[in-house]
Amino acid sequence: MRVVLVGPPGAGKGTQAQFIASHFAVPKISTGDIFRANVSAGTELGRAAQTYMDAGDLVPDEVTIAMVRQRLAEPDVTEGFLLDGFPRNVAQAEVLGQLLAELGTPLDAVLELVVDHDEVVRRLSGRRTCRVCQHVWHLDYDPPAHAGVCDQCGGELYLRPDDAEATVRHRLEVYDAQTAPIVEYYAAHGILIGIDATGPVEEVTDRAIGGLRRFAQPSTGRQPS
């Protein structure tokens, strides 16, 4: 089972990636995890990435791709993997395809978490974070007993700049311009599965696993177990 997970910010990719990877007993691989591992280990690629991150710049494709190449060559991905956060654009998708062809492990499916942009704005802009314990509440889905006060520790709740509505809408614009085109790219290759990512987490997980189970694996002819 070799899967790429795509979807806009706020679609629940991080949560679903954990559940799906666990269900199919494959490692979850995210660019964030790869960056942190390389930086922590002090690798040459990690030092290169740290330079850009310290400057507040995006890590260039060539550094990201080199890290992903190394990670996909490790023995624990022999039986499959779930990629979360890569590729982020069509150019990266093309390079990933070439890399996997070299390794003899082409993608089986690309799972798109489909969610309306207005729902994403509601999900993210409604979050409030505790300044003390960092617990995250939601004004609609998981409100604290007292407005502005954390039930866990009594700390002040605040709106993180990343969760402000204007910021969220800008992130969605960037997603539409840079990442959404890979949905069409993979659809043209016949390996795209789209599922509704609204509703309770467990229901979304069931839809995702069900969709992958029903999807014939083009590289092996197997069905996911």
> Catalytic amino acids?
13, 88, 127, 160, 171
142 bridge partner residues: 138
Beta bridge partners of 129: 136, 158
Query: With 0-12 CB in 10 A as exposed, 13-18 as middle and 19+ as buried, what is 199?
Result: exposed
Query: Which whole-number Å values give the CA distances from 147 to 87, 121, 152, 159, in the listed order?
Result: 39, 20, 13, 12
In 3D space, the residue among 35, 37, 17, 39 whose CA is nearest the CA of residue 27 turns out to be 17
Tell me if 20 sits within 8 A of 205, measured CB to CB: yes
Range list of H helices, 148-193:
165-174, 181-188
65 vs 59, 89, 105, 168, CA distance in Å?
Answer: 10, 12, 16, 26
Task: Let me know the angle formed at the C-alpha of 22 by 19 and 25, rounded to the nearest 5 degrees.
Answer: 150
